[in-house]
Amino acid sequence: MNYDNILSENKDGICYITINRPKQLNALNGATIADLNKAIIIAEKDKLVRCIILTGADTKAFVAGADIKEFAKFTVSQGENLAKQGQELLFDLLENADTPSIAAINGFALGGGLELAMACHIRIASDNAKMGLPEVSLGVIPGYGGTQRLASLVGKGKAMEMITTATMLSAVEAKEWGLVNHVCTQEELIPMAEKVASKIKRNSPMAIAKAIKSVNAGFTDGLNGFEVEISEFGSCFETSEFVEGTTAFMEKRKANF
């Protein structure tokens, strides 16, 4: 499938999605969100895809935010719709996908860009990356889930500081704050994401999907994470992947999922 604003390629069980508007620092306009929505839905349906790696084209930016030029003249209802549609089409879709995603943060991840990375299940940053939610400097607030996901990742106090001061964290600071899992050089970024993906690929996709659902349930209003875990745990039993995993253990061989 060809897209105007992203590149998408499947290789060895990994779907590589690259946001490809480098002249605009990969800013997320409506068309890019629509392309990402399509690519993620296609990856989710493809049983051969076991992990998604999301990155930005070129070396300067992962994504420098929502496209400011596109929304600068929006009305109140257009603004509300921008946040609602974006959250539904992309950020919630990615976070609740069965397929685990890794954000390979190769430069600026600001505003909607950091929000996109935070909607991924795992974050790895190159040492030139800068991360922040600078929206209040524009007279607006994070609208793609940033106020919620940042607080759940780094804690309320640190999220309040990052959002109200609109400051950027370096990759090393982001790791210290728990915002990213690993930091490496730009050259090592995709290989490191592939290394994490290769560990994911050894495991049961069915169990991974249920684990994602259970972890997310603890951060979802109206759901009890422990109850969801009990039910998802039970639903693993009798599945072919459970039989394969437990049989392989007893036969002292690697499971083949």
Does 89 interact with ligand CAA (rule: CB under 6 A)? Answer: no
Q: How many residues does the chain have?
A: 257
115 is catalytic: yes
Cα 195 from Cα 181, distance rounded (Å): 13
How far apart are CB 90 and ligand CAA at their closest, in Å?
Answer: 11
**What residue type is 190 in one-letter code?**
I
161 is catalytic: no
Cα 159 from Cα 140, distance rounded (Å): 16
Buried-exposed string 199-212: b where 16+ CB fall within 10 A, e elsewhere: ebbebbbbbbbbbb
C-alpha dihedral, 148 to 151 to 106 to 216, nearest 10°: -60
Does 39 interact with ligand CAA (rule: CB under 6 A)? Answer: no
How far apart are CB 138 and ligand CAA at their closest, in Å?
Answer: 6
**Which residue in the set 110, 118, 174, 208 belongs to the binding site for ligand CAA (CB under 6 A)?**
110
Beta-strand (E) ranges in 106-228? 108-110, 122-126, 130-132, 169-170, 182-184
Q: Both tokens of residue 56? A: 């930005």
Toward ligand CAA, which CB reaches closer, 144 or 177? Answer: 144
Catalytic residue among 70, 88, 95, 115: 115
Catalytic residue among 44, 88, 135, 194: 135
How far apart are CB 133 and ligand CAA at their closest, in Å?
Answer: 7
Cα 92 from Cα 43, distance rounded (Å): 15
User: Taking contact as CB under 6 A, which single stretch among the options 41-49, 106-114, 153-161, 200-208 is the one that binds ligand CAA?
Assistant: 106-114
> Residues 139 to 198: which contact ligand CAA by CB under 6 A?
142-144, 146
Active site residues: 115, 135
Which stretches of the chain bind ligand CAA, using CB under 6 A? 24-25, 27, 64-69, 108, 110-112, 115, 134-135, 138, 142-144, 146
